[in-house]
Amino acid sequence: MTNDNPTRGQIERTIGQRLQALYRERTGQRPEKVTCQFFDEKLAIVLEQISTPAERFLVESGRSEVAEKFRAELENRMKAEIIALIEEIGSTSVVQLLNSTNLETGFSGLIAILKEPPSVRDPESIPKSKRRNGTERSQDEIAE
């Protein structure tokens, strides 16, 4: 019997490619690089060179606050689309999406909190942050 589920890497790559396309469509600027990594019920995403030429111009002109307000509004408007994209590709629900962007460095980070890890062909490849030797660890053990 074959497992038709995609691999973790295939899902991560597809999400990254689709995010690049979405950002290009919505902002006119495609992130230079997108890195995605699942961690149990979390998906971390780093977007590089996210700033548009207009945002960079505003930052260089000392108008960072205007560029940051614009970026925050843009990302707020894109949030539902990003959640839908992750849910479609990962076949799992997004409980919450957190994001932060630094226009001066051009980096943006997204963390999707998922209802459950995606169903993948290679589930052992998804790091389990709270597990040790196959058993759940308490928060006290993690802090030690």
Helices then strands, counting H and E runs in the chain, come out as 4, 6
- State the helix-helix crossing angle for 53-60 and 64-90, rounded to 10 degrees: 150
For 87-102, the pLDDT digits (tens) are 999 999 999 999 999 9
The pair of structure tokens assigned to 89 is 């590709």
111: amino acid identity, one letter: I
Instruction: Say whether 114 sits in a helix, a strand or coil.
Output: strand
What are the residues whose beta carbons fall under 8 Å from the beta carbon of 88, sequence distance 6 or more? none
The Cα–Cα gap between 50 and 53 comes to 10
Is the pTM higher than 0.85? The answer reads no
> Is 92 exposed, middle or buried, given 0-12, 13-18 or 19+ CB atoms closer than 10 A?
buried
Mode of pairing for the β-strands spanning 94-102 and 42-48? unpaired
Confirm or reject CATH 3.30.980 for domain 8-115, answering yes or no. yes
Question: What percent of the chain clears pLDDT 90, i.e. is strictly above it?
Answer: 77
Is residue 144 over pLDDT 80?
no
Strand partners, 112: 43, 97
Total residues found in the chain within this entry? 144
For 42-85, the pLDDT digits (tens) are 999 999 999 999 999 999 999 999 999 999 999 999 999 999 99
Residue 129 has a pLDDT of 53
For 125-143, the pLDDT digits (tens) are 888 755 444 444 444 444 4
> Is 89 exposed, middle or buried, given 0-12, 13-18 or 19+ CB atoms closer than 10 A?
buried
The Cα–Cα gap between 140 and 135 comes to 14
Domain boundaries in the chain?
A: 8-115
